[in-house]
Amino acid sequence: MKLQWKVAIVTGAASGIGADSARLFASEGATVLCVDRDHHGANAVANEITAAGGRAKALTVDVSSEAEVRSMVDTTVEEFGRLDVLFNNAGVMLPSDGDAEETDEAVWDQTFAINVKGVWLGCKYGIPAMRDTGGGSIINTASFVAVVGAATAQLAYTASKGAVLSMTKELAVIHARENIRVNALCPGPLETKLLMDFLDTEEKKQRRLVHVPMGRFGQSEEMAKSALFLASDDSSYTTGSTFLVDGGLTSAYVTPE
The tens digit of pLDDT for each residue in 54-72 reads 999 999 999 999 999 999 9
Is there a domain that residue 252 lies in? no
Is there a domain that residue 248 lies in? no
Is there a domain that residue 257 lies in? no
Q: What strands lie across the sheet with 136-141, from one edge to the other?
A: 55-60, 31-36, 7-11, 85-88, 136-141, 180-187, 242-245
Is there a domain that residue 1 lies in? no
Distance between CA atoms of residues 161 and 136, nearest Å: 23
Judge whether 45 and 56 are in contact, CB under 8 Å.
yes
Is there a domain that residue 236 lies in? yes
Average of per-residue pLDDT across 198-222: 86
Q: Verify whether residue 125 is a known catalytic residue.
A: no
pTM of the model: 0.95
Among 79, 91, 76, CA closest to 9: 76
CATH of the domain at 24: 3.40.50.720
Domain with 173, as residue range(s), is: 7-243
Is there a domain that residue 16 lies in? yes
Q: What is the pLDDT of residue 83?
A: 98
pLDDT in tens, 73-124: 999 999 999 999 999 999 999 989 999 999 999 999 999 999 999 999 999 9
Confidence band of 193 (pLDDT split at 50, 70, 90): confident
Query: How many C-beta atoms lie closer than 10 Å to residue 146's C-beta?
Result: 24
Q: Which of 125, 157, 237, 253 is catalytic?
A: 157
Give me Rg for the CA atoms of the chain.
17
Is there a domain that residue 250 lies in? no
Three-class SS state of 192: coil
Distance between CA atoms of residues 44 and 29, nearest Å: 19
**H helix and E strand count, the chain:** 11, 7
Is there a domain that residue 190 lies in? yes
